Amino acid sequence: MVEYEAPLRDYDFLFNEVFDVTPTIKRLGYDFDEDFLSMLAEGWADHAKEVWLPINQLGDRVGLKFENGEITMPQEFKDAYKQGIEGGWFSTSTKPEHGGMGAPIFFQSVIWGEIATATNMAMSVLPALTLGVYDVLNEHGDQVLVDYFSSNLAQGHWAGTMCLTEPHAGTDLGIISSKAIPQDDGSYRVTGTKIFITYGEHDMTENIVHLVLAKTPGSPEGTKGITMFLVPKYLPKDWKSGDLDGLSHDLMQEHNGVTCAGSEEKMGIHASPTCVMNFDNSVGWRVGDLHTGMKLMFQMMNQERLATGIMGLGLAEIAYQNSLAWAKDRRQGRDLRGPKDPKEPADNILVHPDVRRMLLEAKVNNEGCRALAAWTGILLDQMHSDDPDEVEYASSLVALFTPIVKAHFTDVACETASTCMQVMGGAGYCTEYAVEQFYRDVRISKIWEGTNGVQALDLAGRKITQNMGKNLRHLMWPLTEFIEENRDIPEMLEFNKPLHQGVRGLQQLTLLMIAEGQANPHFLAAGATDYCRYFGNVLLAYMWAKMAKKAMEKKGDPFYDAKIASARFFFKRIYPETVSLAAKIQSGHKSVMEYPTEMF
């Protein structure tokens, strides 16, 4: 029996006490208050637990069926997805004019995302991708495309994908070969093969809308020549040529030259199709201007990178909850200082320091990541403010946080799921207890949307120097302000002092990475992953210091006392790894790059 309770109390603490989000969303024009958002979160948590969670293991064991170019999903998945549409759970943050609820972005991107992934990662990916397509289309598509596609995407009746990778072009998209030939009626004919396309083919929705990167005739070489195209699986029934204005949403039965050539057999997420997609003279429409495809796709990809980080958090949380539940019932050995339960044949394994260490590492990392996720979610809403200064501030921090949330959250999540298996011993390796599935499912998160090594390079090589260093300066202001505010508060010394040391270390390492990286890019690249981890730990330290300060106002309440104790554990047992990370960064690239290739 898999256990799960959505961390709603934690989110209530974060949004309503640590960050006090209600005044912000009111100022941004949202007609939502604390009580309504709480009710919305409870409703989604109940739905996910009752409808999604019971079929998660079934999806893992049964998987999907690929035959004659078509993918058939488990009936239970189709039924659950239909219930999600009927309940409006896929359209909470989409626009009311498209049938959505218009809730703050942070609800869908953070609270919805974590609960969805924890209860059923394989299914959660589909609405997450669809929302990304919806957002890009609404911001950059011609109005006729928005009018035709947006409502069905917003409500989940139609699904969306992003089609980048080709057999010969993964991270290096500049060498893609997919072509788009312009037609006299304003449409294009798209031809090419894309691989690793999540939910590229399935029978969960009536239509699938693909965002495809391709090149038009005479385009510049490399990524500068890439354009984005919207290519649906099915065209409107009454479409002949010309635009989509005024056409019905009845769909042609034959495909729009969009076919699935295969579905990958994978380590995990067995009920999430990973497809090879062929586009054969398929009708499509340009989204955005010519040769802006990479810019637009990065907008969607960055959104999906944040979503992937939250996916890691969701699976780490459910792995922790189930390993903790198992540990509370498990008796093995005795407390090293003497029996705790002399009337029982053995003590509960929570008496053992190493078991406690593992569980606390999982718990504390999860809660720290959740706090940073909450802050990032609020910033996503602030990016849509009418105040240009607020937009610049929020956009700078989101740009900086995106590779960290994606890489640090998923690195830690994989470690957490593995650790939770270890807590359970042999039982953790058995399918009965589900934690091994969480480990297999979460492992893709380090690879999706650009591997974590690529995220680290993006952070160290681009984000810290972007906009003349504004991204980093916008972060240093709240960090240094918080440190100064708490410098003379005795109760905060144990948190504030190491945070100050870490921030100073981050500044010094950043200068080192920039200076040495300009002279030799191998130095920057060799230290990028460790730098990203260091940066992630500093941000979590800031989150834990903020949470500890807020919790001190209500000492004596078990929830708040636990936050203070967790903050102490973070600073004593997790945060010190920044010392070794700094040493590795400072050691440079020579031991890596001067190692003879023939000796591998």
Could you report the per-residue pLDDT of 258-311, keeping only the tens digit for each?
A: 999 999 999 999 999 999 999 999 999 999 999 999 889 888 888 899 999 999
Residue 125: band (very low, low, confident or very high) from pLDDT cuts 50, 70, 90: very high
Mean predicted confidence (pLDDT) in 141-160: 96
Give the pLDDT score at 244: 86
Domain spans in the chain, listed from the N-terminal domain onward: 8-138, 159-244+251-290, 451-591
The 3-state secondary structure of 468-500, one letter per residue: HHHHHHHHHHHHHHHHHHCCCCHHHHHHHHHHH
Give the pLDDT score at 245: 83
Give the pLDDT score at 301: 81
Token pair, residue 142, equals 């011609």
Burial annotation 476-506 (CB, 10 A radius, 16+ → b, else e) = eeebeebbeebeeeeebeebbebbbebbebb
Give the pLDDT score at 167: 87
Mean pLDDT, the chain, as a whole number?
A: 95
- Tell me the per-residue pLDDT of 416-462, one tens digit each, with 9 for 90 and over: 999 999 999 999 999 999 999 999 999 999 999 899 999 999 999 99
Are 294 and 395 within 8 A, CB to CB?
Answer: no
Residue 472: band (very low, low, confident or very high) from pLDDT cuts 50, 70, 90: very high
In Å, how far are 156, 346, 352 from 136, measured between CA atoms? 16, 58, 51
Are 52 and 2 within 8 A, CB to CB?
Answer: no
Give the pLDDT score at 170: 59
Which range has the worst mean pLDDT, 211-215, 252-256, 449-453, 540-544? 252-256
For residue 337, is it left (φ>0), alpha (ψ between -120 and 50) or beta?
A: alpha
The span from the CA of 363 to the CA of 567, in Å, is: 11
- Tell me the per-residue pLDDT of 335-349, one tens digit each, with 9 for 90 and over: 899 999 999 999 999
The span from the CA of 486 to the CA of 499, in Å, is: 11
The domain defined by 159-244+251-290 carries CATH number 3.40.190.10: no
Q: Which residues contact 205 (CB under 8 A, 6 or more apart)?
A: 81, 156, 157, 158, 159
Element (H, E) at 228: strand 226-232
Give the pLDDT score at 298: 81
Task: Look at the chain and count its residues.
Answer: 600
Residue 171: band (very low, low, confident or very high) from pLDDT cuts 50, 70, 90: low
Give the pLDDT score at 246: 82
Give the pLDDT score at 239: 85
Q: Is the pLDDT assigned to residue 6 strictly greater than 80? A: yes
- Tell me the per-residue pLDDT of 475-533, one tens digit each, with 9 for 90 and over: 999 999 999 999 999 999 999 999 999 999 999 999 999 999 999 999 999 999 999 99
Query: Catalytic amino acids?
Result: 449
Give the pLDDT score at 172: 66
Q: Is the pLDDT assigned to residue 174 strictly greater than 80? A: no
Q: Looking at domain 8-138, what is its CATH homologous superfamily?
A: Acyl-CoA dehydrogenase/oxidase, N-terminal domain (1.10.540.10)
Residue 137: band (very low, low, confident or very high) from pLDDT cuts 50, 70, 90: very high
The span from the CA of 120 to the CA of 169, in Å, is: 30
Mean predicted confidence (pLDDT) in 77-97: 96
Give the pLDDT score at 243: 77
